[in-house]
Structure formats: C-alpha cells, structure tokens
Amino acid sequence: MTTSKRDYYEVLAVERNATPEDLKKAFRKQALKFHPDRNKEADAGTRFKQVNEAYQVLSDPQRKAQYDQFGHAGMNGQAGRGFDGFEGFGGFGDIFDSFFGGSTRQASNAGADLEFRVNVSFRDAAFGVPRELELTRLERCERCEGRKAEPGTDVVECPTCHGEGRVRRTQRTFFGQFQQVTSCPTCQSQGQTVKVACKNCSGRGTERKTRRIEVQIPAGVEHGTKLIVRGEGETGSRSGRSGDLYVHVGVDRDEKFTRRGNDVTMAAEVNMTMAALGGVISVETLDGPRDIEIKPGTQSGAISRIKGAGIPHMGGSGRRGDQLVDLKVVTPNKLSEHQIELLQELAESFGIEKIGDGDGSSQRLFDRFKDAFRGEDDKS
C-alpha cells in the first residue's frame, strides 16, 4: 500500500506565504540536517530527497503556483531529481564544499537542459494529446562511447588533480588561511585524460544528433505551462546525469470557446419567442452537441450552466469544470405578413395599440410593424 506524499511546506518547515529568501534559508537548514554524510539515521536519505524535491518545486514560481492549486496531483511527474539539482546554491557540490571542505563531487558533469516550444489546439489542451518533437542535441559519441579516447587506446588518470576533477589552493590572508576549490584546468573537471583523442568526436565524448521523441501533453494544460521531461536534455560527461527538456506549451484560441479557469464559456442565440415561452436548443460542447433547456421568460445575458462539460483538472483526478452558455435573445429582422399580424395581436394584448389619437391607431400600428420587419425584397 502506498502512502501519500508529505506537504512540501511541511518538509521545509515554512509557511505557505514564505518568501524566496525564506525558502532558500529553510532549504539550506534542512539539507544540512538530513544529508547522509552527516546524519546516520535510517531515514536520512529519504528525508534528504524530500527536502530537495520540495525546494525544487517551491522555488519555481510556476511550479509553486501549480502545486498550491492542485497539490501533488498537479506535479505530473515534474518534481524531484533525487540527490542532485541544487541549482539555487550553485550545484550540489558547492553548498557542501562551503560547509564541509568539499566532501562531494561538483555537478559540472551534468548535461545541459534544452527548451522546446509547442502549440496545441484548444481541444487538445483540454483532453491531452501526444506530440512528437524533433530535437537536435549532444549525445554520447557512438564510436568511443563517451570515453573521448580512440577505441583501443587508454584513458589515464589526470596527473594534475589525480582523478578528482578539482584542485585545491590554499591562500593566506589578513583574516586567516582559506582553501579554494576550483575545476582542474588540465582535464576540465573530468579527472581523466586521453592519449589519443577519438577521431569521431575529437575527444569531446559527445556528438550532435537529431532525434524524435514523443511527449504527452497532459489534459487540462493551460497556455504558458512549462512541462519538464527528465533526462531528455543533452548527455552529461563521464557519469554525469543528462539534462532535462523543458516544453513550453502554447494553446491556440478557439472560435467558439473561451477558457476561464477550468470552466469554458460560449455564446448562443435564442429566438425571442422561445425566450418568452421556453424550449430547448442545441449547443456545441467539447464533447459534441448537447441540448439545453431555455426557461420561459429568459432574458438576454442569462447564463445556462452545463455541469462537468468544462476543462479536466490536471493531475488525473477525473474532475472537470463546467460550460457556461451566455444566452443572447435575438429579435428577427424579417417577418411575413401573418407573423406581423400575430405580433400586432400580441402588442394589443399588452395594451400598447394606442399609438395615436382617434380611429385608425390599430391600422397605423400594423403599418409600422410592416415597415419595420418586412424584407427589402418585399418593398416596392
């Protein structure tokens, strides 16, 4: 049986209105507290991962807003990179170098992140759609398998850093003695050098490739949403992790529908007689045509709500918003002689037939209706 995830604010021990600086301080405190190199409790590793995951989400304004609205269900697999990803402090190694003198390796071997923009239709955004993306990125060289050396030749330990990828320099100042840790200039933090560089990649260990990958655009995605596909960025060097792919989603406008949160709105016309007497009209929804009831005495601007016909909530909860139909009462601009007579009778029943003094007022009303409603083709 699986258990629900802990609230990210609880993990970092901050209030929901915490500032970015508050989040950074809380993260630093909790990361130091639960780092496995310092904390030997059995659950320290798990707690440390939770702290990292919570900070990655809450320090990103867009992901924080999504989490605040939808909770863990709204993350859609976007949270957490395990024990790395301390971007806010210059890399996982940097924070612990500064506190413990460098007990971890820098994250300089990680691959670069990539960004891609994709547009989808209003309906595809509502229900989700798979999209194939064509990416050009650095991947591990097939000839040398990322070793940078020509096949059959040796890779040796860097003589400058002795395989660490970093060099330490001690400086004496007025305030005391300080130790500075920098990337090795000989091997560029790799810890190794090659005798004969690979002919295919010229010793870089990577080559540029064009790939097609499929990305699932989730149901309920909004315009401007940033999706994260882990590990689909550029290949990292040595054992470094691959970068991530950030997919920026744009949603096209729809001719009929407008989004308002998870509700959709649209306009529908209603004949004035149906608005007065009531009836049924058919309107378009995201799921296809649907009949709605027009109540007697409906006024222009009235809203008819169709429950559950709106946008699905992100996170797969199954909930959907509603569809709001803005009813516009339409007055006809062309009537037959019989229809004009019927409207005259209706007007008289409301007591508005006396439009002048003396006899002939009803005839003048009839003539007024004819002038107003008969088509141009009927006029001589």
pLDDT tens, residue by residue, 141-180: 999 988 889 999 988 888 888 888 888 887 766 556 667 7
The mean pLDDT of 110-118, rounded to a whole number, is 91
The mean pLDDT of 313-335, rounded to a whole number, is 89
Least trusted range by pLDDT, from 160-169, 340-349, 367-376: 367-376
Same domain, 80 and 17: yes
Residue 74 lies in a domain: yes
Same domain, 211 and 94: no
Question: Would you state the pLDDT for residue 108?
Answer: 54
Is residue 46 over pLDDT 90? no
Residues 253-263: pLDDT tens digits?
A: 999 999 999 99
Same domain, 52 and 121: no
Q: Which of 89, 107, 125 is the last residue of a domain?
A: 107
Question: Would you state the pLDDT for residue 265?
Answer: 97
Question: Would you state the pLDDT for residue 207?
Answer: 92
Q: How far apart are CA 43 and CA 39, in angstroms?
A: 9
Q: How far apart are CA 207 and CA 137, in angstroms?
A: 8
pLDDT tier for residue 48 given thresholds of 50, 70 and 90: confident
Same domain, 32 and 55: yes
pLDDT tier for residue 116 given thresholds of 50, 70 and 90: very high
Question: Would you state the pLDDT for residue 281?
Answer: 95
Same domain, 124 and 238: yes
- Read off the CATH number of the domain in which 59 is found: 1.10.287.110
Contact call for residues 92 and 107 (beta carbons, < 8 A): yes
- Residue that has been written with the tokens 């992140």 in this structure: 113
DSSP letter (8 states) at residue 47: H
pLDDT tier for residue 102 given thresholds of 50, 70 and 90: very low
Same domain, 271 and 233: no
Residue 191 lies in a domain: no
Q: What is the mean pLDDT of the chain?
A: 81
Q: Which of 253, 277, 312 is the last residue of a domain?
A: 253
Is residue 237 over pLDDT 90? no
The mean pLDDT of 220-246, rounded to a whole number, is 88
Residue 165 lies in a domain: no
Residue 128 lies in a domain: yes
Strand, helix or coil for residue 94: helix
More confident residue, 135 or 43: 135
Strand, helix or coil for residue 366: helix
Question: Would you state the pLDDT for residue 99?
Answer: 41
Same domain, 34 and 83: yes
Residue 93 amino acid letter:
G
Least trusted range by pLDDT, from 225-239, 287-301, 347-361: 347-361
Q: Which of 330, 351, 370 is the last residue of a domain?
A: 330
Is residue 113 over pLDDT 80? yes
Same domain, 83 and 130: no
Same domain, 76 and 15: yes
Q: Could you tell me the residue range of the domain that residue 309 belongs to?
A: 258-330
Question: Would you state the pLDDT for residue 90?
Answer: 38
Same domain, 132 and 236: yes
The count of domains in the chain is 4
Least trusted range by pLDDT, from 28-37, 95-104, 130-139, 330-339: 95-104
The mean pLDDT of 306-320, rounded to a whole number, is 89
Highest mean pLDDT among 13-17, 47-51, 55-59, 325-329: 325-329
Nearest Cα to Cα of residue 302 among 277, 324, 286, 332: 324
Same domain, 42 and 119: no
Same domain, 241 and 291: no
Q: How far apart are CA 195 and CA 289, in angstroms?
A: 71
DSSP letter (8 states) at residue 374: S
Question: Would you state the pLDDT for residue 334?
Answer: 84
Question: Would you state the pLDDT for residue 353?
Answer: 55
Q: How far apart are CA 346 and CA 279, in angstroms?
A: 19
Q: Which pair of structure tokens corresponds to residue 253?
A: 């406008």
